[in-house]
Structure 1
Amino acid sequence: MNEPEHEYEEELDAFLIWMKDAGYTAYTQKSYLADAREFLGSLNGRELGTVKKLQVVSYLTSVRERGVSDATRNRKHASISCLFKALTELELLNINPAAGIKKSKTEKNREPVYLDEQDLQRFLSAVDGKYRSRNLAVFLLMSYMGLRVGEVHTLNQSDYNVERRSLRVFGKGRKWRNVPVPEDIAPYLDQALTDRLNPWHSKEEAMFISQKGRRLSIRGIQGIAADTFSRFQSEVPSSQRRPYSSHKLRHSFATMLLRKGADLRTVQELLGHSSIQTTTVYTHITSREKEEAMSRLQIGMPYKTGSGDS
């Protein structure tokens, strides 16, 4: 593939400006730009105004043939679609050739990955080290308050109202939501703020500071989670280890709420989902729950009568 940075420099700069104006996180900007560069490199210098749906589908097909997951293919599709949407809105192009291309169907019936309450407690017990209070608070916000990794990253000290025990969270779609801080979680959050590392710049408002004195990055949070999950599963044979990640803590939060009887609308609000359809992915049922439900049935069988009865 050709390197598109110079050939499509104006378009890539415009795309970045558009994403910043639309409120995309720095992490998303970086991911989408990388996908856009890869796609542009596949065009072999073709003018963007002449790109058709065929070129987009051809690229996405080549991506699939490399063996990436459907979810990754769909993200790359979203990146390309956003690129052309940005360029049309900024009047650099007239059409979006990525529009109308179907997403890959991801496997809906695979076993969902989350931690139950007992496993969650064991995972939190695996948090250790010099920055334990900070890391523990980060994981508690995700597993017992449902925050996304990016939302934890953007938290400022002023977002926490100690008196009301409430947290203001800046979520997807540039929307704010208020999440109650559970009574049992508040002391850990207070301790993390007490132990907050000194930032490099005195005006840094970030709630969580890295060892380098900067706002704790998304990649940093994911790395800490990966290390902790590795310790958590250290005694499990490698072939039986589950693909846990920081985002699975949010899955665990939603699953726990629904199992304890919380209604779907409430969970939607707490998670910051714009559509309740997104929330329904957490309504998975385990085999054990199916068996328990079936065991509650009062089955009245008809009395058998012998063939020789008169």
Structure 2
Amino acid sequence: MCLRTPQEPGALCYTTMKLKEAIEEFKNWREFKVKASTVKGYDRELRTFCLFLRNPEIENIMFKDVMEYLNGKYELGWNENTFLPITMSLKKFFDFAQLQGWASFNPKLIPVPKQKYTMPRIITEDNYQKLLSIIPRNNDPRHIRNLAFITMLWDTGARNGEIVSLNTDNLDTGYCRAIVRTEKSQGRRPFRELFWTESTNENLKHWLEKREYLKRTITFREPNALFISICGSIHDTQGRRLQIKGVGEFLRRYSNRAGIPYQNAHSFRHHKGHELAGKGANNSTISSILGHSSLQSSMVYTNMFGKELEELYHKYCGY
């Protein structure tokens, strides 16, 4: 990791620097402040911006260049909610550039839109059963692993990244529970417990047995990882920890085979939150089980829609 001594705020910097190099310095700096996935997301957005501007000298970038970039995406029909991470990446980067004395405009000018509310995608009980029904019950380790993973998603409501981060020593199959590091905890609850049913526990035990057998033929790059990649010859992922995108791939494949809309991992999380709210759990309970960073994140699950709202209307209005 290469670091340069930051300039004093407001100091002038007469050394020219290409945007690509400035992005790299920003990346190195951010690695000390936030988690790796956040740094990776910022880096991806900034490199796209760099490609758009054809890697100019950072001192020559004007506010109008930023707006031209954002307006271009808008004209191409990019989803409104995708602008939040884009603008936040740009703002954080130019805040850093201003502290270094590189920026030629005030980063506060960069507009950061509010997140537009959209109805969450929630997997239904019917679609969940259809998904399970098309998973072959054979000796293929991929299907054994995937069945355990999917039933864990359903029972725990945990984030995709939280489940792939589990190690074998985090599990207590005797009591159907595990300890997981909570994503987005912001220091409030860095760890929490996950719980699951006996049927999911049996799926997990089956996978653990198969996992032990695989050690004879596969070199485990991350020996403690609970879920590992099995067929990864193309990208050299075999034996490594299963990745979030790998989960998305097998969920998409199973959804297509089941003839249902794509059920992503987060739709399981939304189902669990909605289920808890429907059974009377308050925001604090939902927040603790799902590992939300704030109670506000749990409030969406207390909102009733469609048939549920109609039934409540008739119940309380009497007609």
Same fold (TM over 0.5): yes
> Counterpart of 2:32 in 1: which secondary structure?
helix
Deviations 1:234-289 (A, max 9, x none): 2xxxxxx6453222121112111111221111111222221222222233322211
> Counterpart of 2:112 in 1: which secondary structure?
coil
8 Å Cα contact 1:142/1:253 also seen in 2: no
Counterpart among 118, 123, 136 of residue 131 in structure 2 = 123
Which residue is equivalent to 1:195? 210
Moved more, 178-187 or 64-73: 178-187
8 Å Cα contact 1:257/1:267 also seen in 2: yes
Q: Tell me: CA distance 1:155–1:36, structure 2 relative to 1, closer, same or farther (3 Å).
A: same
8 Å Cα contact 1:112/1:284 also seen in 2: no
For residues 271-282 of structure 1, what are the structure 2 equivalents within 5 Å?
A: 271-282=290-301
**TM-superposed deviation, 1:36:** 0.6
Moved more, 210-219 or 50-59: 50-59
Separation in structure 2 between the aligned mates of residue 256 and residue 63 of structure 1, nearest angstrom: 37
8 Å Cα contact 2:276/2:286 also seen in 1: yes
Which residue is equivalent to 2:163? 152
Letter in 2 for 1:222: G
**TM-superposed deviation, 1:55:** 3.2
Counterpart among 285, 301, 306 of residue 287 in structure 1 = 306
Aligned: 1:244 with 2:263:
yes
Which residue is equivalent to 1:83? 93
5+ residue gaps, structure 2, are 1-16, 231-237
Aligned pair count reads 284
Letter in 1 for 2:292: H
Moved more, 277-286 or 51-60: 51-60
Taking only the aligned residue pairs, the percentage that are identical comes to 25
Counterpart among 15, 31, 47 of residue 20 in structure 1 = 31
Deviations 1:194-253 (A, max 9, x none): 222435246522111111111111111110111111122x2xxxxxx6453222121112
Aligned: 1:135 with 2:150:
no
Q: Tell me: CA distance 1:254–1:45, structure 2 relative to 1, closer, same or farther (3 Å).
A: same
8 Å Cα contact 2:95/2:107 also seen in 1: no
8 Å Cα contact 1:147/1:271 also seen in 2: yes
Separation in structure 2 between the aligned mates of residue 182 and residue 274 of structure 1, nearest angstrom: 22
Separation in structure 1 between the aligned mates of residue 59 and residue 289 of structure 2, nearest angstrom: 43
For residues 177-192 of structure 1, what are the structure 2 equivalents within 5 Å?
A: 177-184=191-198, 185-192=200-207
Separation in structure 2 between the aligned mates of residue 164 and residue 82 of structure 1, nearest angstrom: 44
8 Å Cα contact 2:88/2:112 also seen in 1: no
The normalised TM-score by structure 1 is 0.78
**TM-superposed deviation, 1:40:** 2.1
5+ residue gaps, structure 1, are 1-5, 235-240, 301-310
The normalised TM-score by structure 2 is 0.76
**TM-superposed deviation, 1:79:** 2.6
Which residue is equivalent to 2:7? none
Moved more, 267-276 or 52-61: 52-61
Separation in structure 1 between the aligned mates of residue 93 and residue 185 of structure 2, nearest angstrom: 17
Q: Tell me: CA distance 1:273–1:295, structure 2 relative to 1, closer, same or farther (3 Å).
A: same
Deviations 1:41-76 (A, max 9, x none): 333554434545443333222111111111222222
Deviations 1:92-135 (A, max 9, x none): 757861676231552x3x54321223332332333336222211
Moved more, 217-226 or 168-177: 168-177
Which residue is equivalent to 1:41? 51
Moved more, 68-77 or 28-37: 28-37
Separation in structure 1 between the aligned mates of residue 98 and residue 145 of structure 2, nearest angstrom: 43
Counterpart among 168, 183, 186 of residue 179 in structure 2 = 168
Separation in structure 1 between the aligned mates of residue 35 and residue 26 of structure 2, nearest angstrom: 11
Moved more, 16-25 or 218-227: 16-25
Counterpart among 266, 270, 282 of residue 289 in structure 2 = 270
Deviations 1:148-174 (A, max 9, x none): 122222221122234454322222257
8 Å Cα contact 2:91/2:110 also seen in 1: no
Aligned: 1:258 with 2:277:
yes
